Structure 1
């Protein structure tokens, strides 16, 4: 068993390592909404930068140091200089070491071209909004725009669409043994049971991304840890299906996951038909809506903030948050979609989310039955399957 397979949903919510966004180790005042502390130098922080809560100074230093790609040396030849607000300029080598040890990630730094492209896109959208007010709606409020931007940022940080970090996964050899496999993987679906350990690894990789997505969202972090865990246990599978749909090609019936491709066709009965038929129908139905990225991410949020998940204590708070995301989705559609062609899109999306709840329950029961005879699930999957509201 690989070390990461022993992580539970609770571990992933609480844990600082392997996370795209986590609250830093801070003083007690922070828990009460007080001062946020930079994980690198201890100065006042102003948000998460490159995966870590830092100040603006350490954010800029890390970006410059990574882009320069120069090997820094400690002038004091210790390599263990204490980095504080007052001493952070004295040793660049140790400051960079502290940045990396705190969890700052080089791969999260946007290139200069990407930054300019993003700025140009923001300017263009603002200009288009001013020049052509959307028909059929009153426009997005500033709060709704900020909410969508927060969700999009969380998606970008936690959704590895290229599967570039998905490694050391399992497949079964012809003799039934488990072995590692790196080249592209393609299955025609004639026999799904031997692929279950591999599919469990794929799903677990996606589950971790969804959990990290939730932790980036400020509204989610403000909830009690117990409610965070209950919401994730109920919604993780549904949110993963929404993410998988963005990689689904209806023409070929294939999920394109970076260097991996999955094509399951013509289920011939048994578990395989029960598993694949509903999944294929769901993905085809959702793909036909031709949703925007913003609509996908709002669907994830609506699924996540479901007040009726088992174990949720602050139901009224979660219910208000879900309503806020739903109203934002409705407003976004009214602003971004031509009327009347898409006048029923919001209702269709809400219907899809209802269908998603049903699929979640059905798939969970089928996978638990398979698990009884062909154990394949990782510990994280077992915890999620046994805790859903099917």
Structure 2
């Protein structure tokens, strides 16, 4: 498709702020929103918002709420009458599905060709919604769960409770009444300008992300059947990696070496002499081993939700053999669905590279987590950092005898 005169390749999609590929139905928009709008009209889709009809719509979470995304399309001026009603709806044809072998992806196909499948040549889907299959129901669950977790992270809700109370209490992310009240409140963390992070900001956002970690853990059905000690060990094992993933993925892109929190606090490669050397090193590792690769791979919301689940469900945690077996089965199932999703989205060659690079992040993160936990122990021992009681329970155990044993073992 040739962009209209006056269109700049630097223009942004008015719906999700991704890079626009041209004027589609009257406004600058990306291929994903163009395809979503057309499919919604052609198939006469009706969507329902699970919140209050005011979900955020941007390129990282544009697939989370279809109702709000379609409303945003209309608000920015996408014209229903601009659709060519005689054309077939976007989607794979029966002939395409019957002959999956020897499929190649050719980006030179025009928009007119993209709705007609042939045995040898099809156009790859342009948005995450198009690549779900009937076997991807778990990916939809994980994606929806991740949106709820991020809504709660942005809220003002942060209870003070022990680790045992957190792990044994009712799951909040699956409670619609609680999420309607707290998940998307009118008072959210926002910022108008950036400010360099202070020690109190680290404490605050770590506490929020550890609270969300316990709620995220309880959202897995298998987690509810684990012995309490296995629950503790699994969450403890993820105490570094999951917050790092969340902080990097949800950070606005303010440059390759900057992580921004939802209230505007940020850190970059600036050395912070007031922090222990080990925690400064962890900061640099986050930028090099997580933030940069994630942006290079261009991980979307569905892929992030699946990779986060794979990272959390780690059989390397000090848990029972039966729990390891259950976790491994669950992890393999998610990994297979993630790979299948990426192949349908990108084609086999691109998907192989992206999937491999994403999965290989796990080994780098495991090394970072081990070194970071050592830094946390040292910081706590020498009283450099004032960790909360919850943090001490999470990392050092629930009593002083266990703390001392772990410190000197």
Aligned partner of residue 332 in structure 2, secondary structure: helix
Moved more, 272-281 or 312-321: 272-281
Work out whether residues 310 and 331 of structure 2, in 8 Å CA contact, stay in contact via their aligned partners in 1: yes
Aligned partner of residue 342 in structure 1, secondary structure: helix
2:248 to 245, 269, 274: 245
Aligned partner of residue 386 in structure 2, secondary structure: coil
1:130 aligns with 2:78: no
Which residue in the other structure is 1:256 paired with? 260
Aligned pairs (5 A) from 1:327-342: 327-342=336-351
Aligned pairs (5 A) from 1:65-144: 109-111=51-53, 116-117=67-68, 128-131=90-93, 142-143=134-135
Aligned pairs (5 A) from 1:188-199: 188=196, 195-199=198-202
Pair 1:108–1:204, CA change in 2 (3 A): farther
Which residue in the other structure is 1:163 paired with? 154
Query: Once the 2 structures are TM-superposed, how far is the Cα of residue 128 of structure 1 from its aligned partner?
Result: 4.6
Which residue in the other structure is 2:81 paired with? none
Query: Once the 2 structures are TM-superposed, how far is the Cα of residue 141 of structure 1 from its aligned partner?
Result: 5.4
1:213 aligns with 2:222: no
Which residue in the other structure is 2:309 paired with? 301
Pair 1:367–1:151, CA change in 2 (3 A): same
Q: Distance in 2 between matches of 1:199 and 1:286?
A: 22
Aligned partner of residue 343 in structure 1, secondary structure: helix
Work out whether residues 302 and 326 of structure 1, in 8 Å CA contact, stay in contact via their aligned partners in 2: yes
Which residue in the other structure is 1:385 paired with? 395
Q: Distance in 1 between matches of 2:153 and 2:371?
A: 29
1:326 to 308, 322, 335: 335
1:267 aligns with 2:274: no
Note the residue ranges of structure 2 that are not aligned, 5 or more in a row: 1-48, 56-64, 73-88, 105-123, 125-130, 161-188, 398-405
Query: Once the 2 structures are TM-superposed, how far is the Cα of residue 372 of structure 1 from its aligned partner?
Result: 2.3
Query: Once the 2 structures are TM-superposed, how far is the Cα of residue 309 of structure 1 from its aligned partner?
Result: 0.4
Work out whether residues 303 and 353 of structure 1, in 8 Å CA contact, stay in contact via their aligned partners in 2: yes
Pair 1:342–1:219, CA change in 2 (3 A): same
1:365 aligns with 2:369: no
Aligned partner of residue 387 in structure 2, secondary structure: coil
Q: Distance in 1 between matches of 2:378 and 2:195?
A: 22
Work out whether residues 158 and 209 of structure 1, in 8 Å CA contact, stay in contact via their aligned partners in 2: yes
| Count of aligned pairs | 260
Which residue in the other structure is 1:229 paired with? 232
Pair 1:196–1:259, CA change in 2 (3 A): closer
Pair 1:238–1:118, CA change in 2 (3 A): same
Which residue in the other structure is 2:319 paired with? 311
Q: Distance in 1 between matches of 2:363 and 2:91?
A: 32
Query: Once the 2 structures are TM-superposed, how far is the Cα of residue 301 of structure 1 from its aligned partner?
Result: 0.8
Which residue in the other structure is 2:293 paired with? 285
Work out whether residues 272 and 280 of structure 2, in 8 Å CA contact, stay in contact via their aligned partners in 1: yes
Pair 1:318–1:120, CA change in 2 (3 A): farther
Compute the RMSD of aligned alpha carbons: 3.8
Q: Distance in 1 between matches of 2:243 and 2:227?
A: 23
TM-score, length-normalised on structure 1?
A: 0.57
Work out whether residues 231 and 306 of structure 1, in 8 Å CA contact, stay in contact via their aligned partners in 2: yes
Query: Once the 2 structures are TM-superposed, how far is the Cα of residue 222 of structure 1 from its aligned partner?
Result: 4.2
Query: Once the 2 structures are TM-superposed, how far is the Cα of residue 111 of structure 1 from its aligned partner?
Result: 2.1
Note the residue ranges of structure 1 that are not aligned, 5 or more in a row: 1-106, 122-126, 170-180, 190-194
